[in-house]
Each structure stands twice: as structure tokens, then as C-alpha cells.
Chains A and B, each alone.
Chain A
Amino acid sequence: MTPSGALALRAAYLERSLRPSDVVDAAIDQIARHDPNLHAFLYVGADQARAEAAVWDERYARAGSRETLPSLAGVPVAIKDNMCTRGVPTTCGSRILEGWRPPYDATVVTRLREAGAIIIGKTNLDEFAMGSSTEHSAFGPTRNPWDSSRVPGGSSGGSAAAVAAGFVPLALGSDTGGSVRLPAGFCGIVGLKPTYGRVSRYGLVAFASSLDQIGPFAGDVTDCALMLRAIAGKDPQDSTSADVPVPDYIAAIGEGAGGLRLGVPDEVVGPGVEPVVAEAVRHALDVFAAHGGQVERISLPTIEAALPAYYLIAPAEASSNLARYDGVQYGLRAPSEDLHEMYAETRRQGFGAEVKRRIMLGTYALSAGYYDAYYVKAQRVRTLVARDFEAAFRKVDVVVMPVAPTLPFAIGEKAEDPLQMYLSDIFTIPVNLAGLPGLAVPCGFARGLPIGMQLVGRPFDESTLFRAAYAYEQATPWHRRRPPVAAA
């Protein structure tokens, strides 16, 4: 089997044992054969990818063994379909944007291209990133490569499945309430939600502006760090992107867990958590302890309020962000003689039920008479959640939680009950509210299904998360396991 990680691919390219074209051809072939079952991709740009691969073949041939080429040169990647790719369809998993080709690239896309990455295609997602299972895509669900009757998690299910299935070594997702970490956990791979402001949002179709972040999926921690480095950093086109230098995440990744203080919140041990999940996370903590980490109990008292606060803030911002889908400039337009009827019909036809539900909820939370009671109140809770974490980080360096309270559930199991679905995000949402980095790492299996744990860190301290996760990863076998599809 060919080397599957980005780092390994690059090494193979440099030593001429492999060419980008070979890898891209293999990827396109794998997708053609296995993706009809998984439905990870909404769009595959085969011709473009092959053309780019040919260019990198040439560059590697001329380069010699010194590393003069950019960090991801010739590495195939997939992009969640809510990030703008110029001239290439960007649907956000919605009928309202079916056929739309943006006239510009998202900053992360530009940076990936500059790093030499080859974009294979756009991946499936819950419509406008609203969901935890990728069942709310207008174009059909994505299936979990470990068990195709189950969800891959959401909203970035397509990207997670693409990496887990071995189609590509790296993919980008976006995370507003857990949409990178949850699919990473459900698909048995590594997924990072960076600190808010670490990665530019320019070109990311907004869901909830104060919560959204773009993050990498990868088969292991090192690859994840590699991709983050390529996309992170201040962007003058995003006012909320932070002017904080991007460290060389790979450099200190092998420092080990010795001396790290890890905190486990009392509040995560609850009745809603499946026993196998709780057990896997407990076992992971033992591994940390065995490798020099110091595990402590901490408390995040407001964490339970985070979910209701999120379900007021995120839909409120979303209701505003999605007002632009009106049939005027692009996308779906329902014909009508009257403008306002055109708006209403276009949006009725173009949006799915979950999107409509959140728009309604958000509009309500902002409406006259309710703004203080709902939206402002939720923002106050948000301050409390942030303060809880701040207090915790005075005692520990990393907070450890499960990614999700359950194993990956069956397709259709929760789709009709929004509140049940929302509870999947109970451990991921507080991290978005506080704007902190959260890294999902596989920490076990049960009944053949992956379990993920989440490491949460201080603002802009992704380095510590990578370091801790790497130490854990190297001491455990999970990152070497692949689902049946990938092994084929």
C-alpha cells in the first residue's frame, strides 16, 4: 500500500519513489470506485487535478533531494463545499447555491495552492454547515467508512470520510459547534478546530461568524499540524483573524507528555455519555499518566449552559448570514412577478428543514422584545463559559473530554428530532463559545466503531495540543487502523 500520510508522500516524492501524478490518479480511481457508496464528494475536479499533478511531477524531477519545494507540494487534498473555490461549484450542500461558481478563492484555498496542494474536489456537508451528521445535505448523506449504515458525523462529514477512507491524506472542514471534531471522532481520524482567529474565514461561507473556524482533518497528528501551518496566520481580508505568529508546529511535536497537566471536568461524567466512550477516555488518561502527564480533576460549572446558549447565538448569527440567499445575484431563483414573493419562494424551495428551523430560531432570538431575553442573555452565558476555561487553564495545560457522548449513530436515527441531534455537540460547543483550540484524536474502538477524545488548549496554544496528542498517538495503535474501504 502506498504511503498514506502527507509527510510520507512528500518524502516519497523527494526520493523519487512516487510521483504526484501516480498518487492523484490513484485517488481519483479510488473515489470513482468507492465513493458512490460513501458519497463523501460532491464534486471531483479530475482534469484540473491531473494537470496540476503533472506540473509537480516536473518540479520534483528537477528539484533534487534538497527541500526547496513548498510544504504540501503534490499532496492531494479535499475541501468542504462551504469554502469558495474560484470557478468550481460551491454548493454548501444546498439547493439554493446549486450551480454557483464563486468568482474568488477563499484565503485558505489560496494558501493551500501556494503550499503546492492539489485540490481533488469538494466534499459533502450538512446544508450550510448546520448539523451533526451530514444527513441534512440537500444532495444526500455521507456514510461512515467504518459502517455505511451509520453517520460520519457532521457537518464536515464528507471531508472526514474522504480522509478516513484513504481517498486523500488531508482535508479541510469547518467547525462552529463541533463540525470538525465530531466527524473526526466518528471516523477515527484527527481533526482540529483552531483557536478563533487562527485561520482566516475569508471565503468560508458564514454560518455563525463569531464561532466558525476552518480546521484540518488528517490521518495522524503530524499531518494535521503540517496542514495547519500551511493555512494559519493573519489575513488582512479577515478583521477577526489574529496577528499572532504561526509557530513551526512540527518542530516541538515530539517533546512528549512529561510535565503536562491534563484536566478532566467533573461535568463530563454524566448519564448522557455511553459507557464505552467514558471508558475509552478514562483509558486514554491512563496512557497520559504513564507517559509523564499529570491528570487532575477540574470543574467547568457553566458547561451545561453552553448548549442552550449556542442554540441561541449560532442560529441568530446564521439567520442574518443567510439573508443574502434571495435569488437576486446568483443561485436558485423562484420566478415571480413580485420581489418579496420571489424571496420567500426562493428560500422556501432552496433551504432544507434544518436550515429553515435555525433561521426561524435565530430570527426569533433577535426579534424586538426578545433580543435581551435570548440573544444578549446567551452572550452573557458565553462570557461565563470563557471564564470557566480561563480558570481551568490556571491549573492545567490541556482539558480532556470525549468528542461526543455516543458512538456514531445510525443514519436516520436522530434526523427527525432536532433537540436529540443537538445534544451530540455537548462537549464540542463550549470550546467554540470560548474560542479555544480543540483537537480530536482517536482513542479507541467499540463494536468496530471509532471513539474520539478531545484535547482543549489555551488560545493559540495548538502546539501543546499537538505535543500531547502526538505522545498519546505514538503510544497507541488507533491511528494505524483503517476502515475496510481504505484497506482495499
Chain B
Amino acid sequence: MTKEAAVAYGTVVGLEIHVQLLTVSKMFCGCAVSFGASPNTRICPVCLGLPGSLPVLNRRAVELGLRTALALECRVHPRSQFHRKNYFYPDIPKGYQISQYEYADHAPLATDGHLDISVDGQRRRIRIRRVHLEEDTGRLVHSPDQHGGSLIDYNRSGVPLMEIVTHPDLRAPAEAREFLTALRRLLQFAEVSTGRMEEGTLRCDANVSLQRPGGPFGTRTEVKNMNSIRSVERALAFEVERQRAVLARGDSVAQETRHWDERREVTFGSRSKEEAQDYRYFPEPDLVPLVVDDNWLERVGAELPELPAARRDRFITAYGLSVYDADLLTTAPSVAAFFERVVALFPQPKTVANWITGDVTAYLNDIGAGLDQLAVSPGRLASLLRLIEDGTISGRIAKEVLVEMIREDRDPAAIVEARGLTQIRDEAALSEIVEKIVADHPGPAADVRAGKKAAMGFLMGQIMKATGGRANPETATRLLRRRLGA
């Protein structure tokens, strides 16, 4: 690779994201949206596309779409229509997918919004081109044996999807990662979707091209089949490098669709004949236009849950948290909600925050879980903190109790009781122990008297060992000092 090629190109990325909406029933019929159901058990004439069937739009899906449009600060169009996207594939039973097309004076649900992200401390505004509604396809599974053909399950056919398309404003794979993280958080807080790529409730395709600074965007490739946010970042990094290498050789980048191979960590081009698809879009005659007036939009706005940025700001002002802590505590709605519920029971927000971002997170990291997977009740954590506050246990012991509390799902007071972990504060009892330790360790005792502070740590350690960690540190320290005249 020449030095020139290595320096010249900037990265241009746009994302096309499909979000599965949190509804009870499908987009155009009443079949239940459920996960893991036995194949073809959530089907009806409509989502099977049987002859004579007709679609009827799910109100909640529209509202979740509107909610998202508001959260992304889009312009909601007062009138929008659905269109048919016509193509043949076994997972679309009607031979067309009902979607919303953007064409001439046909506006989709919403356009022209943005989502702000933070990359390396820099705030970047990523523009949203459009938000629209459509139905999901069925699921095609390839039969394991060579002549088995392909198998189709229509449970997913007709599940409500929302498509979000960004402008090609992302300038690095890391930005795409940050954008998806921020979008997922937004969708979760808005209670629009669970937003999990691993579960398929959030899917992402990317358009990637390189650009000479000040020049036009180069030929773009579409990258598909990325199954996690990390995959997206890695796939984009690979694709950018691949395009750089192509250009450095003096070749041109082919406009094509490339698939990400997670195992081999490469993108590969489709072997199939690349023909531009002619989807023959036209307005869906079986559905009537959607009219969204100001009243409806206001109601949606009023019902919008507190969004991440607002929640984070509120944590900073109302609870006096640091930006860092507020950020951590708003990574997911479950974490933010947990924090606030604990604070409601134990109103010392900074302490609560410290414990959650500190020991709780550390424990979860150890078992490979995220904060949003915390499975302990707020009441339990609040109880634990109260036990520390009223001196029943020391902070040190509390760390042990915390782990057991989460792992065994037990009440902290019960753990303390059962394992006899109550703090020893009684001066008489502690004096006896101090006496014994000093007598057992004359050397270190002499060191302390001689002014060597490190020996204090050793002796305190012995006191803790002798008391099973239960000695109240302040009292023990005071008694030890007095005994040694230090």
C-alpha cells in the first residue's frame, strides 16, 4: 500500500436499521408476536398471505413508530401511505412486502431527525433520513441434509418492524458502534423495542464507501449479516481496509452487497448474479392512508417515557451524581430504574451509586453479566446499605454479603445472621482481642511503638483475621493505638 493511499481516504458510513416493535400482535393481523414458538403456530390467513386475505394496521405499532420519530426529533408527516415492495422469495408469502416508500409526494411516517452521540469526548450529530413502518418476513432455514431444500416458518411473517435510515454521516467504525449503542438505549428507554441484535430485535445493514477529503463519496458497498454491535464495528473496519487496499492497487470498488462472516472475520461478495432489483413500488390499495394530526402527536409525546439524555441530566441535577456515574446508571432502563428504586428506600444517592457502579458491577463482570442483567431486588440492596449505616456490619463484610446476596438471592440480614457476621463494636470484647494480638506479635508491636506505621496494618490484619473480619475498624484501630500508645 502506498503512503498516499494510506493517508488520503476518509470513511463514510450510513446505516439501515430494522427494529422489531414491542407489540403484542403482528402488524396487520392478530397473531401473537412470540419468541421460540413451534414453527408455523402463530399464523393466520393474513400473515400467510392466503388468497383473499387483507391487512389491518396495528394502532400500537403506529404509536411506537411515532414515539421513535419524536425521540429522534424527526418531522412527522401528517399524511403517509403504505406501499407494496414486490419481489419473489419464499419468506414473503404474498410475493410483496407491505412497507412505506419515499417517492415524489409520498412521504413515509417521519423524516429529517437526528441522534447525538459522543465519540472520544466529541459530540457528533448523526442525521436520520427517515423512519417508516413495515412488516417482517418469515424465516428461512436451510435443511441440514444436502437435498433437503429450505424450510420456512411464518411465525415471524408480519411482525411489526420499523426501519430507521441514517444519512451517511458516520465517519468511523467506532462511530457506528456508538450510534447503535445510543440508538439501542433510546429504543429501550422509549419502550419501543428490546433492541437486541443477538435476538434479532435490532438488525443493521451498513453502506460503506471511502472519500478523498473534499471529494465526492466513492462507490459504496452494502454490508449485511452483522449480528452484534461489535460485529458491526469489526465488519466496517474490515470493509474500510478492504476498499483501501482495492483502491491502492489501482482497482475500483465494485458496487455490491457483501456479507460479513463472523467466524473468518471477513466480508465476502455474493456469488449470485447482481441484478438491480425492480421492486415496482405502488401505493398499497388494501390499506387506507394514515393521518397523524397534532392531537395524536401530542398524546404520543405525553406518553413518551423519559429518554436517556433527560434521565441522565436529571440524575446529575436531582441526585448530584457525577457525569460518569450518571452515564453508567443510564446505560439501560432497568439499571436506571433499579438505581432510583434503591434510592427511594435508602435516600443516599451517592452511596447507592458507588455501590452499583463499584462492587455490584465488579461482581457482574466476574460472572460475565451486564448491569442490565442484575437480578436482585432494590429492597435487598437497600437493606444491605442500611445494615452498614446502622453499624451492624462493616463495609468490608458488606462486600462479601453482597456477593452472596446476589448469587443466592438471599436477604442480607438473613445472611449476616446465619454466618454470624455481625460487627464487633463492644469495646470490652475488642480490647481482649487487641490484648491477645499484641501479646502474640511482640515484634510488630514494638515496630508500631517505634513509629513504623506499616506494622499497624499488619496488626489490624491479625485482628480482622481473629474476628473473621467482623471487628469494627474504627474502634479496633482506636483501641490498638491506645494499647500501643501510638
A residues neighboring B (CB under 8 Å): 83-84, 90, 92, 97, 100, 102-104, 106, 201-206, 208-210, 236-240, 316-317, 319-320, 322-324, 326, 328-330, 339-340, 343, 363, 366-368, 371, 375
In the complex, the answer to whether B51 meets A371 with C-beta atoms within 8 Å is no
Closest-CB distance, B134 to chain A (whole angstroms): 16
Q: List 11 A-B contacts (CB under 8 A).
A: A92-B51, A106-B52, A202-B53, A209-B286, A238-B54, A239-B287, A317-B285, A323-B96, A340-B88, A366-B282, A371-B281
What string of 1s and 0s marks CB contacts (under 8 Å) between B131-147 and chain A?
00000000000000000
What string of 1s and 0s marks CB contacts (under 8 Å) between B422-452 and chain A?
0000000000000000000000000000000
Closest-CB distance, A144 to chain B (whole angstroms): 28
Q: Is B263 located at the chain interface by the 8 A CB criterion?
A: no
Q: Is B94 located at the chain interface by the 8 A CB criterion?
A: yes
Asked, given contacts A210-B285, A236-B56, A340-B88, whether A324 binds B45 with beta carbons under 8 Å apart, the answer is: no
Asked, given contacts A104-B45, A106-B52, whether A367 binds B282 with beta carbons under 8 Å apart, the answer is: no
> When chains A and B are docked, how far (Å) is the Cα of A316 from the Cα of B278?
14
Asked, given contacts A106-B52, A367-B278, whether A320 binds B286 with beta carbons under 8 Å apart, the answer is: no
Residues of B within 8 A of A240 (CB): 54, 285-286, 288
What string of 1s and 0s marks CB contacts (under 8 Å) between B89-118 and chain A?
010011110000000000000000000000
In the complex, the answer to whether B88 meets A239 with C-beta atoms within 8 Å is no
In the complex, the answer to whether A324 meets B54 with C-beta atoms within 8 Å is no
B49 closest partner in A (C-beta): A324
Asked, given contacts A239-B57, A320-B84, A323-B95, whether A203 binds B282 with beta carbons under 8 Å apart, the answer is: no
In the complex, the answer to whether A320 meets B52 with C-beta atoms within 8 Å is no
> When chains A and B are docked, how far (Å) is the Cα of A104 from the Cα of B55?
15
Asked, given contacts A103-B45, A201-B54, A202-B53, whether A339 binds B90 with beta carbons under 8 Å apart, the answer is: yes
Residues of B within 8 A of A239 (CB): 54-57, 286-288
> When chains A and B are docked, how far (Å) is the Cα of A340 from the Cα of B88?
8
In the complex, the answer to whether A368 meets B280 with C-beta atoms within 8 Å is yes
> When chains A and B are docked, how far (Å) is the Cα of A320 from the Cα of B85?
9
B residues neighboring A (CB under 8 Å): 45, 48-57, 84, 86, 88, 90, 93-96, 150, 152, 278, 280-282, 285-288
Closest-CB distance, A318 to chain B (whole angstroms): 11
In the complex, the answer to whether A83 meets B93 with C-beta atoms within 8 Å is no
A316 closest partner in B (C-beta): B282
Closest-CB distance, A93 to chain B (whole angstroms): 13
In the complex, the answer to whether A368 meets B278 with C-beta atoms within 8 Å is yes
> When chains A and B are docked, how far (Å) is the Cα of A90 from the Cα of B45?
14
In the complex, the answer to whether B51 meets A320 with C-beta atoms within 8 Å is no
Asked, given contacts A239-B54, A323-B95, whether A363 binds B280 with beta carbons under 8 Å apart, the answer is: yes
> When chains A and B are docked, how far (Å) is the Cα of A5 from the Cα of B439?
119
Closest-CB distance, A83 to chain B (whole angstroms): 7
Residues of B within 8 A of A103 (CB): 45, 50
Residues of A within 8 A of B285 (CB): 208-210, 240, 317
A204 closest partner in B (C-beta): B52
In the complex, the answer to whether B280 meets A324 with C-beta atoms within 8 Å is no
Residues of A within 8 A of B287 (CB): 239
In the complex, the answer to whether A324 meets B57 with C-beta atoms within 8 Å is no
In the complex, the answer to whether A102 meets B50 with C-beta atoms within 8 Å is yes
In the complex, the answer to whether A202 meets B51 with C-beta atoms within 8 Å is no
> When chains A and B are docked, how far (Å) is the Cα of A237 from the Cα of B55?
7
In the complex, the answer to whether A320 meets B55 with C-beta atoms within 8 Å is no
In the complex, the answer to whether A329 meets B48 with C-beta atoms within 8 Å is yes
> When chains A and B are docked, how far (Å) is the Cα of A136 from the Cα of B54?
26
Closest-CB distance, B149 to chain A (whole angstroms): 8
Other than the given A239-B286, A329-B93, 18 more pairs (CB < 8 A) read A83-B52, A90-B51, A97-B51, A104-B45, A202-B54, A205-B51, A237-B56, A239-B56, A239-B288, A240-B288, A319-B280, A320-B280, A320-B282, A324-B94, A328-B90, A340-B88, A368-B278, A368-B280
